[in-house]
Amino acid sequence: MEYTTLGKTGLKVSVAGLGCGGFSRIGQGAGKSEAESVAIVQQALDLGVNFIDTSAAYGTESIVGQAIRGRDRDEVVISTKATVGRGDGLKSPQKMVASLDQSLQNLGVDCMDVFHLHGVAPESYAYACETLMPVMLREQEKGKFRFLGITEVPPNDAGHVSLAQAVQTDCFQVIMIAYHMLHQSARKFIFPHTLERGIGVLIMFAVRLLFSEPGRLGYVVGKLVEEGQLNSDLVDLKDPLGFLIHDGGARSVIDAAYRYCRHSAGSDVVLFGTGNPDHLKDNINSILSPPLPEADVERLETLFGALTDVGLDAPGRVKR
């Protein structure tokens, strides 16, 4: 495993981080037993993954708690979250504190390493900062968590409006952002600021259905060509990312996806999620692989660098 320092937090973290949400929820989304999901977390830890990300909303905190029980607390960096909400569903400060306390209990720890304000939509950002943050900082002073983070709502904030504000402040030590081969906008608009300020960056959405579901990538790229966002003369509609797979290049599109995110300047931890032991090993191997060839990266960024709002869809929806 390779390790890096998460921004200015001083936390030594694995560059591959196990995400316990997403479609899989470490196997819970696929009908796996709790014991099987516990085994996935333990397998990741045994392979050197020390960054584990979960959330009250995922329903996997207790599983992570079981998996880390008996291990040296210093061996695991734990990240969890409480959803802020939006509109009439904004969470009160009291409910945020209650969520934090419940997360600590679920995980069986006295202190979280990173606690995030979760899914902060642009219209909720001011509320999160002005109403919730002062209360959560008091909880931090009590020793309930070490560093405050913030996550975006990718399908509803493709332009990173919330995080663009967050990275201009010193309020958040860590951010979680959607970033992948066809959604590269963070490279231009967010990473320069996080690098300058020493804000830790967690990458989510490195691999979504866009890259893993057969036929979806071709369909989405075809729609982009129809809309005039891509030049059909430059893109192979039958195999849009096939140029990445060759001797000396990527082994597969998923391998390319993880490697691209891992080696983008500004990326600290690439989160991956799975309930499959073999996929877990494959994902880690990809994240630990060398950068993609420079010519492939240049072509990838030339072709797709101007796109946004691609592949940020929920299960069952094919979004642009």
Angle formed by the axes of helices 253-262 and 277-287, nearest 10°: 50
pLDDT of residue 313: 66
For 128-138, what is each residue's pLDDT tens digit?
999 999 999 99
Is residue 159 within 8 Å of residue 285, measured between CB atoms? Answer: no
Q: Is the pLDDT of residue 144 over 60?
A: yes
Q: Does an H or E element contain 202, and which?
A: strand 200-204
Q: Is the pLDDT of residue 320 over 50?
A: no
Residue whose pair of structure tokens reads 């430059």 in the numeric block: 234
Average pLDDT value over all residues in the chain:
95
Q: Is the pLDDT of residue 315 over 50?
A: no
Q: How far apart are CA 114 and CA 93, in angstroms?
A: 18
Q: How far apart are CA 232 and CA 311, in angstroms?
A: 19
Q: How far apart are CA 84 and CA 89, in angstroms?
A: 8
Q: Is the pLDDT of residue 145 over 80?
A: yes
Average pLDDT over residues 16-32: 95
Which domains are delineated in the chain? Answer: 12-212+264-292 (3.20.20.100)
pLDDT of residue 311: 82
49 alpha carbon, distance to own chain's centre: 15
